[in-house]
């Protein structure tokens, strides 16, 4: 089995169900827990957008021309509050209209600790799984990515919007009272959130007061005591016993590997 790697597909279950994507092939990974696997990089890399062969990737899987021209690689994707569509400078206005001008969810999550995040409504709960969150709570629905970014900036003044990936892989996060934290946070940010609602309209911030906390359990036999990362560029062939899967990481007894980092790398799987 071989093909270009893509982000692992997931399904919310108890525990989460994972599939490794190699080109058109989908390999169930939960069945490989506690078994020895080998990933071997063939030396070939393909752009995840245009599929042309390349020597290195940019922004998780793109060739350089795609990286500097596609809207999906622009800075505003990573910092939505910097959206410049209204200035008429969007790299691809039709893509921006389809991707950014759809409902987004602002949420609290418990991954390596408490964090705030945003995602398209169609990416719930996939986004939380990809971040390795063990709990998540939607708090707002907003009409666009730009508005979600502005709300996230306000909330991130009080809690983190980042995940510590090493902490994520070494520890099981303790449950947090996300509903209580939500209320405290909204009280702290009331005036700033009201300003956003006044700017974009009274329905631009729809509070999701009745949402339940989503609990996520990952397929893990054993967490690593020390974090050693596998690098396919330095070590094209890596082997080990699969001890767990969390976020987009495979946890092996020989080290961990971030599958998403190697999007576009042609890899063979032996198991």
pLDDT of 179 strictly over 90:
yes
Give the per-residue pLDDT at 202: 84
pLDDT in tens, 151-177: 999 999 999 989 999 999 988 889 999
Give the per-residue pLDDT at 173: 87
Give the per-residue pLDDT at 172: 82
Does residue 64 belong to any structural domain of this protein? no
pLDDT in tens, 2-15: 999 999 999 999 99
User: Strand 2-11 and strand 265-270: pairing?
Assistant: antiparallel
Give the per-residue pLDDT at 171: 83
pLDDT in tens, 46-59: 999 999 999 999 99
**258 burial type by CB count under 10 A (0-12 exposed, 13-18 middle, 19+ buried):** middle
Does residue 107 belong to any structural domain of this protein? yes
Give the per-residue pLDDT at 99: 95
Does residue 239 belong to any structural domain of this protein? yes
Per-position b or e across 59-79, b if 16+ CB within 10 A of its CB: bbbbbeebbeebbebbebbee
CA dist 243 → 30, 34, 235, 251, 254 (Å)? 10, 6, 20, 6, 10
Question: Which domain, by its residues, includes 232?
Answer: 2-44+220-270
Number of domains the chain is built from:
2
Tell me the mean pLDDT in the region 74-102.
Answer: 95
Does residue 114 belong to any structural domain of this protein? yes
C-alpha to C-alpha distance for 3 and 22, rounded to whole angstroms: 4
Give the per-residue pLDDT at 113: 93
Query: Do 127 and 208 belong together in one domain?
Result: yes
pLDDT in tens, 182-228: 999 999 999 999 999 999 998 999 999 999 999 999 999 999 988 99
């Amino acid at each position: 089995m071989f093909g270009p790697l893509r982000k692992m597909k997931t399904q919310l279950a108890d525990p989460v169900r994972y599939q490794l994507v190699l080109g058109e092939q989908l390999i169930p990974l939960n069945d490989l827990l506690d078994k020895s696997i080998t990933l071997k990089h063939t030396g070939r890399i393909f752009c995840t957008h245009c599929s042309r062969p390349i020597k290195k990737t940019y922004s998780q899987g793109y060739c350089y021309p795609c990286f500097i021209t596609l809207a999906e690689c622009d800075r505003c994707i990573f910092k939505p509050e910097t959206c410049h569509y209204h200035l008429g400078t969007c790299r691809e206005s039709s893509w921006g209209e389809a991707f950014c001008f759809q409902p987004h969810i602002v949420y609290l999550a418990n991954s390596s600790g408490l964090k705030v995040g945003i995602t398209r409504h169609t990416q719930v709960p996939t986004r939380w799984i990809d971040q390795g969150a063990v709990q998540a709570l939607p708090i707002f629905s907003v009409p666009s990515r730009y508005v979600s970014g502005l709300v996230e900036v306000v909330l991130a003044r009080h809690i983190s919007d980042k995940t510590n990936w090493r902490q994520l892989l070494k520890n099981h996060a303790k449950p947090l009272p996300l509903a209580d934290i939500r209320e405290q946070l909204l009280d702290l940010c009331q005036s700033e959130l009201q300003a956003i609602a006044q700017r974009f309209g009274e329905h631009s911030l729809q509070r999701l007061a009745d949402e339940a906390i989503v609990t996520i359990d990952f397929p893990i036999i054993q967490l690593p005591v020390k974090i050693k990362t596998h690098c396919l560029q330095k070590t094209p062939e890596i082997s080990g016993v699969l001890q767990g899967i969390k976020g987009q990481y495979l946890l092996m007894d020989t080290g961990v590997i971030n599958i998403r980092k190697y999007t576009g790398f042609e890899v063979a799987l032996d198991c």
